[in-house]
Each structure stands twice: as C-alpha cells, then as structure tokens.
Amino acid sequence: MKARILALLLAALMLLSMVACTQTPSDPADTTPPTTEGTDPETDPDSNPGETDPETDPDNPVETDPEDEDPLEKIPEVNYNNAEFLIYSRPDRYETSVFLKEIDKGSSSVDRAVWQRTRDIQTAYGLIFEVKATSDVATALYNTKSKTDSFGFAGDHGRYGWNYATKDYLYVWDDLPYVDLTQDYWAQGAAEEWSTPGGKHFLMTGDLTHWNVGAAFVMFFNKDVFSLVDGLTSPYELVYADKWYYDTFEEYARTLYSNMDGDGSGEISSDSFGYATTMFRGCISIIPSTGIKLLEKDENSATGYKVNATKDRVVTAVGDLAEFLVNESTCYYDPNSNPYGSMREAFMANRLAFYDDEVNYALTFTQKGTEFGIVPWPKYDRRTDSYFSNVNAGCDAFFIPKNTSETFAECISIVLETLAYHGQKDVIPLYYDTVLTYQGTRDEESVEMLKIVKENLVYDFHYWFGLAGTLNDIGSKVIANGSVTSLGRLYDEIKTTVEEGLLKWSELDFAEE
C-alpha cells in the first residue's frame, strides 16, 4: 500500500509542478520553497559512509515515536475494479470541498489540492467517485432500505444529525473497521460532543472537508472605526493580557457607536452601529464564553445528560447579551431574520465597529480593502479558562446510510480515513495557513489570533443537534417581540421536549444495529 501511495505522490508532484506554471504570481502556493530529501555522501560533509545506520543496525534498535507512525499503514491493499462510490452532498461550496473531479487555469491552490486528493484515492483503490448535489439528503438516506454497495456517505447540514439518527437512518461510525476517530484529523471536539452517552457516533466531521475549518465564529473589529476614538486599548492587547472580557466588549461598542455618524434609521442597510449579530452568531457564542456547556453528559441522569440552562452564570450571561441587543441603539439585532449580507456590507462600509461571523469572511473583507482585525469572541469574565470559538452548525456533518453492507462498509472506512488523513496533510495547510492566514489577514496580530481560535474550536451538542429546534436558536426565543425572557424561564417551558429528545438520543445506545 505504501509503495503505491508513494508512487502516486511522486506522480502528483510532477503533475502539480506542471499545473503550477499556470498559477498567477499572487498565488502563495507558488512561493513555497522546494524541499530536499536525503544527502549525497560524496558532497555532504556531515555524512559518514563508514558509520552504521542505527535504523538498520539490529544491535541498536531505534524506538518508534507513535506520532511518526503512518496511520494508513493499517489499510489493506485493495482494488475495487472501478466500482461506483456515490456521495450525496448539499449544493454550492460543500459539494466541492470533499471531492473535486475537474479544475481549470483559474482554480485556486486549495481546489487543486482537493482535486489531486480525489484523483489519488480513486486511483489507489480503483473507485469512481460520483457526487450528487441535492437539497434533500434526508430522502436519499431514507430510500436506502436495502443493502447498498454503492452509497458511500452523505454530507449535510450538521443540525440534521439528531433527526437522522433517531429516525434510524444511520450507520454507526464505530463499526467502520479502518476509521480511527482518535486521530487528530478527525475533529476531536465533535467526536466527544456528538457521541451518545454510551459512546456511539452516528455522524462526524474532520479534515476531509476544509470548509468547516473556516467556519469558526470570530469577532471582527473595524480599524477605521476604532481610529475615531483615542486611547482605546487594542483588542489584540486585551487578548494577550487575558483581559478580553464581555463587559469590556460592551463598553467598547458603546464608546465607538457614540463617535459614529449614523442616519438614525435603525436599519442595517444605512445606519451605523457598535455591534451587529444574529441568533446564530452572538446568541450562540455567549454560551461557551461562560465556560459551561448547556448540555453536559451525566451517567447519573436518566437522559444521559445534565442540562445547565438554569445555571445562574449561564442565565446571567445570556440575559446580559439579550438586554444589550434589545434595549440599546448601539446594536442591530433582528430575532426574526439573519441579514448576513447586509451586515457584512455595513462592516465593509465602516458602519459597524464589531461584527461576529465565520472567519472565512476575512477573505471577503480583505478583497474589499476593509481595514479590520480578528479576535476570538470574548470570555464572559476571568472565570472562563479559554477563548472558545463555536464552529458554525450550518456546516457539513457526514452520515453513512444504515443499510450499508458489511463489505462496502470496509470500502467506506478506507475512503473516509484516507480523505481525512490527506485533508490534514495536503489540503488544510493550504486553506488555513496559506489562504486564511496569508490572504485573509491584515496584520501579524490577526495571525496569532487565528492560532488561538484554531486551538479552541467548539462543537457544542446543544447547538449542533438542536433537539428538534428547541435549544439551537435560543436567541429567537429569549429575545422576542422586543422583550427579553430569562433563559431559565424559557427552559421551564421546553423542558419536557428537551428531555424527550435527549432520551431518544441516549436510547440509541441500546438499539440493535
């Protein structure tokens, strides 16, 4: 297997060197210095031909570092003789983040890497990938009622996972013979949060797609707006000093707003604001800012979970944000809509001081010439250990149809593990380190902030699974009709529905597979 992969990689290097001739000078992939493997004993003064190589000397065995082991070594050499491997995916960007079968001269370095990975895996295992874009993945999963030897997996909206699993549509990932969910190319936060109380995984995500990497929520701040006020400590410095707290963020938003020239309309399309957010941005990020999970696994609970929606710290934090959004003209918030496009336009027009969104929109802001900085969402206060960043639950999670045959499950596991491994090795570095960092940031401080974000990604169960829409949109429930309802009071109203949903989820541990 290793020899075949090596041959493919050598071919890939030759092919990419030819493709690179078509790249524009602005593509940072062109500036990557070549690496040199090995040394020439006749010209390298440090080499000693007469010295025994410790790696081949039986009297001096070298201990192998587990981190240096090839995780694909366990995968057998197999050829499926050009068998079809079908993937259902949501349309648009998600469709091409895992498999890409065509590129052209205008393709990005990331697209070329995804394309190369697609070719290599098809060739290595004798498969033909067929991606079908559909807005109705549920029907595709539901219709797979007989044993299948072609439907590999589906990528769909992450919040559909609980629904698909409790309807018995899904195969258990833990039964895949060659998938190792402990490897760091699988999202470890998701592996922990998305498993049942008994440890079963019905959906996962990881480095097989690069889009989820750019979907972490961050706080953008507009440098031109900041320049209106003298003496404000930079948010960067506050993060470095571990003093970037929610109350400071509120104070900054008020101060900056008071120095901005708005038209007084209160409309995001024309007015100015200190902060703008939606029910799926700030109202979600406030929860991990407290350092508390809304749903926490608990082996002593009948449902398998402890619900922290009535904890004083969480209730207070959500209430603080809700009051700020509703009762001050400083902020723009509409609980009934999510006008992301208008908010981004306002930020690029210097009519927003703070705006929280997916980090990948840094590319858009850079391309439009906006002067901005990136920091993590603030901690609620000093009691929170880290600057946590939610990963947008609108991103893809990956599902395997329930009735996959045992033989094809082996094929699926080979493809998934290889995709994720080479995603981490060949695609994610280009996307995160090159595209987001090199092209999407305006200063070195933002680069450092991205490292903090990447190290503290959150895949909270309550947000991604939603339990039939009861807990993943608390922003529209806590804030409704211009007034604020306590999170604790809201939970009292939906408690029965939440507990029933958690019980359904935990009962999957005892379902027959």
pLDDT confidence of residue 369? 94
pLDDT confidence of residue 25? 36
Rounded CA-CA distance 509/513 in Å is 10
pLDDT confidence of residue 19? 38
Tell me the mean pLDDT in the region 228-256: 97
Range of 140-149, 154-163, 328-337, 342-351 with top mean pLDDT: 342-351
CB atoms within 10 A of CB 166: 20
Place of tokens 């104070």: 251
Contact (CB, 8 A) for 217 and 357: yes
CB atoms within 10 A of CB 227: 12
| Tokens (6 digits) for 291 | 């350092």
**Each residue of 262-314: pLDDT tens digit?**
999 999 999 999 999 998 899 999 999 999 999 999 999 999 999 999 999 99
Selection from 82, 119, 80, 475 nearest residue 278 by Cα: 475
- Helix, strand or coil for residue 288? helix
Rounded CA-CA distance 468/471 in Å is 8
Torsion sign across C-alpha atoms 132, 138, 144, 150: positive
Tell me the mean pLDDT in the region 230-241: 97
Rounded CA-CA distance 472/463 in Å is 4
Residue 84 lies in a domain: no
Residue 317 lies in a domain: yes
Q: Which helix (H) or strand (E) holds 138?
A: helix 137-142
Domain span at residue 349? 216-391+468-510
Rounded CA-CA distance 140/162 in Å is 17
Selection from 327, 314, 293, 323 nearest residue 488 by Cα: 314
What are the DSSP calls for 200-259, one per residue? --S-B-BTT-SGGGGGBEEEEEEHHHHTTSTTPPPHHHHHHTT--BHHHHHHHHHHHHHT
**What are the E-state strand segments in 315-474?**
331-332, 352-358, 372-375, 389-390, 396-399, 457-458
- Helix, strand or coil for residue 470? coil
Residue 205 lies in a domain: no
Contact (CB, 8 A) for 401 and 148: yes
- Across the strands, what pairs with 296? 306
pLDDT confidence of residue 189? 94
Residue 366 lies in a domain: yes
pLDDT confidence of residue 394? 83
Torsion sign across C-alpha atoms 498, 503, 508, 511: negative
Q: Which helix (H) or strand (E) holds 453?
A: helix 444-455
Tell me the mean pLDDT in the region 113-130: 95
- Across the strands, what pairs with 114? none
Selection from 395, 507, 406 nearest residue 459 by Cα: 395
DSSP state for residue 402 in the 8-state scheme: T
Residue 127 lies in a domain: no
Strands 151-157 and 83-89: parallel
pLDDT at 56 over 90: no
pLDDT confidence of residue 66? 52
Rounded CA-CA distance 280/391 in Å is 11
Tell me the whole-structure pTM to 2 decimals.
Answer: 0.83
Range of 49-58, 88-97, 341-350, 473-482 with top mean pLDDT: 341-350
- Helix, strand or coil for residue 156? strand
**What are the E-state strand segments in 99-194?**
127-133, 151-157
pLDDT confidence of residue 436? 83
Tell me the mean pLDDT in the region 131-151: 81
CB atoms within 10 A of CB 139: 11
Rounded CA-CA distance 212/424 in Å is 12
Contact (CB, 8 A) for 217 and 392: yes
Residue 229 lies in a domain: yes
CB atoms within 10 A of CB 400: 29
**Each residue of 444-469: pLDDT tens digit?**
999 999 999 999 999 999 888 866 55
Contact (CB, 8 A) for 473 and 170: no
Contact (CB, 8 A) for 95 and 131: yes
Rounded CA-CA distance 134/90 in Å is 5
pLDDT confidence of residue 46? 40
Q: Tell me which of 158 and 455 has the higher pLDDT.
A: 455
Number of domains in the chain: 1
Buried b (16+ CB within 10 A) or exposed e, 467-482: bbebbbbbbbbbbeee
Q: Which residues contact 115 (CB under 8 A, 6 or more apart)?
A: 100, 101, 102, 103, 107
The pLDDT > 90 percentage for the chain reads 61
The CA–CA distances, whole Å, from 362 to 126, 226, 235, 365, 436 equal: 39, 18, 17, 5, 7
Residue 131 lies in a domain: no
Residue 342 lies in a domain: yes
Rounded CA-CA distance 196/247 in Å is 36
The CATH number covering residue 294 comes to 3.40.190.10
pLDDT confidence of residue 38? 39
Tell me the mean pLDDT in the region 164-191: 95
- Helix, strand or coil for residue 141? helix
Q: Tell me which of 382 and 46 has the higher pLDDT.
A: 382
Rounded CA-CA distance 410/407 in Å is 6
